[in-house]
Structure 1
Amino acid sequence: MNTKLLECIITVSQERSQSRAAAKLNISQSALSQQIKKVESDIGTALFYKEKNELFLTDAGKIYINGAQGALNIYKNALRDIQKVRTRKNKEITFVYTKGLLKDLAGVLTEFRKMHPDIYINTLYGTAASAKDYLSNGIADFAITATSDLSNTLLGYIPLRTTELQLALPYGHPMINRFRKEGVCFECLAEDIFILPPNETLSRQLSSRIFQQNRFIPRSIREVSEIESAIELMISGNGICFVPKFHEARDRYIAFSLVPGANYHIVIAYMKSKIFSPALKDLLMILMKTYDSYTDESVRR
């Protein structure tokens, strides 16, 4: 929308003189005259007529002015609403996190609130896949999530820690002693039910990679959405599963590292085009400090 052009026509109608309107608009009279002629040429009729050295609106001019004033009002209201959104957005930080990857959320929020009491933190829960959607669509400022690959065209990563997915067996499983001595043999698990997360999760992708690397196809799969549910099923003798190395309930099962290792990274993810505000930088520093204090046993997925 050429708001300057609309303002020129409106000002001429108010001043009833091109010279006075040009002075008020701080442009030359010839430039203003060209603007008027351009509009009249575009609509195919005159906007003004001259009487006693003053300019008055034609019928077409009156219609044009009414439309121009309405359009300008809509435009100004839109700018005002956008400014309100920008102001509100500057007072809010939204981040998404994968369940279990941030243990002391309350502590993080409390420390941040001491530094920035006027800024609201909005948290969302999502998988690694949904976190990317939140970021790319501008819903979230950053995400605490997991990835197996630190290279991405659109996303930048701040690594928090590197860990691994391990095979978990319930106490009493017949392969425990053998695996302790010789390492994991997937062919020995041909009769077991594998309890796996949904396809869109990073854990499922890593599980599929583990099977491919070991040239193994599970005969039976049971899918559950939560790692806690998978562990409960495993402990009760309803299958085996993969668990993060840092899961805190490790006294309830036996876990084995895999060769090759199923490593992945816990990261702060953000759009590479993202501009970090001072408050956002402070929040990221708090999160990094929090992760520095974690041990493999203290972080829960």
Structure 2
Amino acid sequence: MDLFVLETFLAVAEERSFSRAAARLHRTQPAVSQAIAKLESELGEVLFERSSRDGTLTDAGAVLREYAAKLLNLRGDAETALTELRELHRGKLSLAANEYTCLYLLPVLDEYRRQNPRIKLAVRRELASRIPDDVLSHAVEIGVVSFRPDDSQIRSVVVYRDELQFVVSPSHALAGRDEVSIRELGSQNFIAHNVASPQRQKVIQAFKRHKTPLQMGVELPTIEAIKRFVEMGNGVALVPGLTVKSELESGALVRVRVQELQFERKLRLAYRKQASLSHAARSFLEVVEAYAERRGDPFCFVAERGVGGV
């Protein structure tokens, strides 16, 4: 059932005249009459009393008028809702991040929220290795990862440059050193994350190359727990710099440079290459790009090319 034909029917019913309905719709009277005849043929019902000159509705016409008004009102509601989406007065932005990458999101989400207070934000906590699948399965629109997705269906943009940092408690024997060699760390007890990651493998390989034992005496499930345990003097740790900014500034932890363990980490936004992103998601990317331009390093906005890029 054509909504335009229903609009024509409703105009005749409200105006109680084919000629006045035609003038209201800026159409000819024959065109209006033809539209009504087509609708009656489709429904198998007579909608107007032909003996009446004032567009009196039949019982079938009266029933249809009620539903036609509802349908046209719904069309208006839909158009309004779409306009609100375009103007970011409503909508939802769904993202996926892990414990680490969520820290990157906080300042940019704060900026986004200030600009778009009516958009609902939903950040789903997920293992980094599963985030590309979440993106591809439409579970979320955008994921934040610390590796380059290798799926050709995913576009990635580098948004933050971080590095691994070796940290100790202020009372640790190495706390007063500006730099140490990896060979000096063979006797240290490392507090490690119990989730396998590419960075963990890089560290293990670095110790092997330098023929130095790596003692991971304690493994914990979160970076927050690792930091607290190191603060208590139970060992040392290698953690992303983003995760210890406040502790280094307050003096709760001390960073010691290890030349052989200088590993850069790039955080990326990942989303479906062929997707038509929502207005909320497109606005988020614009906010991230503007935020990076304003703040500068380590924030950035660099689209990657090739596999997983543009």
So what's the TM-score if we normalise by structure 1? Answer: 0.59
Seen in structure 2, the aligned counterparts of structure 1 residues 210 and 128 have a Cα distance that, compared at 3 Å, is farther
| Alpha-carbon distance in 2 for matches of 1:121, 1:258 | 47
**Distance in 2 separating the partners of 1:181 and 1:21:** 86
1:226 aligned partner: 223
1:242 aligns with 2:238: yes
1: CA distance, partners of 2:199 / 2:167: 12
1:149-174 deviation per Cα after TM superposition (whole angstroms, max 9, x unaligned)? 1777444415443x43355567459x
Amino acid aligned to 1:5: V
CA pair 100-11 structure 1, distance change in 2 beyond 3 A: closer
CA distance in 1, matches of 2:202, 2:231: 22
Task: Indicate if the aligned counterparts of 2:49 and 2:55 stay in contact, CA closer than 8 A.
Answer: yes
- SS of the equivalent of 1:48 reads coil
Distance 1:94 1:67, change over 3 A: closer
Equivalent position of 1:37 in the other structure: 37
Letter in 1 for 2:23: A
> 1:138, 1:181 → 2: CA distance?
40
Structure 1 vs Structure 2 CA RMSD: 5.3
2:51 aligned partner: 51
CA distance in 2, matches of 1:155, 1:138: 14
Deviation at 1:63, TM superposition (A): 0.6
Which residue of the other structure, out of 168, 191, 198, is the alignment partner of 1:206? 198
Residue in 1 that maps onto 2:308: none
Cross-structure match for 2:264? 263
Structure 1 residue 193: Cα displacement: 6.1
CA contact (8 A) 1:128 1:147 kept: no
SS of alignment partner, residue 49 of structure 1:
coil
Structure 1: distance between partners of 2:67 and 2:20: 23
Q: Structure 1 pair 180/121, CA: closer, same or farther in 2 (3 Å)? A: farther
What SS does the aligned partner of 2:40 have? helix
Q: 1:27 to 1:17 in 2, by over 3 A?
A: same
Spell out, residue by residue over 1:247-293, the C-alpha distance to the aligned partner (whole angstroms, 9 max, x if none). Answer: 4539635453557x75321356677656766x985774343332338
- Choose the corresponding residue for 1:290, options 274, 295, 302: 295
Secondary structure, aligned partner of 2:62: helix
Question: Which residue number in structure 1 is paired with residue 193 of structure 2?
Answer: 196
Q: What corresponds to 1:252 in structure 2?
A: 254
Alpha-carbon distance, 1:196 to partner: 0.9
Alignment partner, residue 11 of structure 2: 11
CA shift, 1:241, in A, is: 3.0
Mapped to 2, the partners of 1:43 and 1:33 lie a distance apart of 15
Give the distance between the partners of 2:58 and 2:10, measured in 1 at CA.
13
1:180 CA displacement = 1.8
Unaligned stretches of 5+ in structure 1?
295-301
TM-score by length of 2: 0.58
Structure 1 vs Structure 2: percent identity of aligned residues?
20
Assess, with a 3 A threshold, how the Cα gap between structure 1 residues 16 and 146 changes in structure 2: closer, same or farther: closer
Partner of 1:149: 148
CA distance in 2, matches of 1:292, 1:253: 20
Task: Name the aligned partner's letter for residue 233 of structure 1.
Answer: F
Q: What letter is aligned with 2:164?
A: L
Counterpart contact for 1:196–1:223, Cα < 8 Å: yes
Cα contact 2:223–2:239 (8 A) shared by 1 = no
The whole-number CA distance in structure 1 between the counterparts of 2:65 and 2:229 is 73
Distance 1:125 1:70, change over 3 A: closer
Q: From the superposition, tell whether residues 151 and 26 of structure 1 become closer, same or farther in structure 2 (CA, over 3 Å).
A: farther
